[in-house]
Structures are given as C-alpha cells and as structure tokens.
Structure 1
C-alpha cells in the first residue's frame, strides 16, 4: 500500500507537537533542512515499524488460528486413541477368553480320546522311538504302511 508523502511541517508537527513552531523559528534554513531530513528518516522508520507490526499481528492471528485447529485435532485424536485402546483391551480379553476355551476343549478332546482308546497316547509315543526293538517284519510293515496313508 503506497503511502502519500508528508510535508516536512506535518512530520515535525507529528513528531514534535509542542515544540514545532519554536524549532522552525530558532533554526537557520540549513539547520532546519537537516533537522527536517532527520525527522523524515525517523518518520520513515516509524512507518516501516508500524507496517512490520501489522504484518506480525497478521502472522500471530494466523498462528493462533492454526494452533486452535491443531488443538482441536489433538483432542479428536486423543478421543480416537482412547477408543482404540479400549477396543484393544476388549480384543485382548476376548483372545484370553477364547484361549481358555480352546485349552478346555483340547483337554476334553484328550479325555475323550483316552476314553475311546486308552493306549493311543502310548502308541503315538512309541511310533517315533528307535526302530532297534522292531523285527525285520515290523520294519517292512511300517515302511509299506506309511506311503499308503
């Protein structure tokens, strides 16, 4: 935004409202011109500072808006995290319950197998034992039985 140039008298009046007339009357023309140039430089700096302040205010407003948005998002995500953690806890409890039920079912199956064939466990453990105690006929029978099944 372009700013209209101010007259020296206006600048001096703005910067030194109580002593403007005394300054202009007591200084020689050359001194007054130097004083006016200095006053113009001060005014330019003040204007630049004011523009900078406005830009900083705009940046601050924008940052505050972003901060508010971020805080709202954090609150939303914290709620989602709490929900997810609750779901995880529920799922872990369900998994524990199901594992308990599976173990109980496996125990029941083992009991039923033992009731049907009490020697089944013993036969299964002997099956992997060394074949040194088997006769040649037993070894041949086992070898022919395995590929068939």
Structure 2
C-alpha cells in the first residue's frame, strides 16, 4: 500500500491528484452513464470491457503495471473511485425514480408501464431495461414506492466513492 502511494505521489503532486482523477476517471464514468444510464442495459461483455478499460486507466494513473501484482481493490481504494458498473447502476435507478415520480400521463411513464403483446424469440431472452431495473432494485433492497420521496431515493441509490 505504501509503495503504491509513493508511486502516486512521485507521478502526481498531492494537490493535483483529485484534478487528474476527475479528468481521466470520472469523466469516463459520466460518458458511460450518459450512454447506458437512461437508455438501455449494458450487456455483461460490454460491462467487463468497461471495467477492464477503467482498471487500465487507474493503473496508468498510479504508475503501476500488472506485473506489480497489486489487486484492483487496493488500486481503487488508493485512487478512491467506485466501479463504472456501480455508477451506471446508480444512473439507471436515478432515471427510474425520475420516471416513477412523473405523472401517469407522461410518455415516459406510459412507455414504462406498456406491455408488448408479442412472443419473444426462442432461446435465452434478451435483458430488457425493466429487467435490469428489477435486478438493481433487488440488489439494493429497494421498493417501487420508495421512488416517490426524491431525497430518500437519492440517498438509497447512491454508490458513493470510497473516502
């Protein structure tokens, strides 16, 4: 841990560390939230590729290579960021809360409640956006009725960066 922190300090002065972290990691997460947050669910393959790209950036920021054999959790703890998948989950749930708080006549609410009467294809069904939301809500032990209180919902869905 100390070796990793010394490497970070040698590359970046302490006062510029958060500025660089914001540029390279948080903006990357913001882009992925814009893409997958409100629109659709992220396939597992794409999610793994995003995680790998994020870890490459974090390792590069820290000046650490895979040969140093420092695990991902330690690097994340040092740089103080949470996984991209958790940030996309937060964005999906934030959008879901927004839709649930809208009145029942809005287009987005009607589209969410709409059921398409059609047979699905053979084989394993593709994950729909609503299926992803159900999984996210089950993981965080949330209920649909909780979305009505905006402040509480915001606190419950938060996947904050480690301190």
Interval containing the TM-score (normalised by the shorter chain): under 0.3
Radius of gyration: which is bigger? 1
Higher normalized helix content (fraction of residues): 1
TM-score in terms of structure 2 length = 0.21
TM-score (norm 1): 0.22
- Greater relative contact order (Cα < 8 A, sep 6+): 2
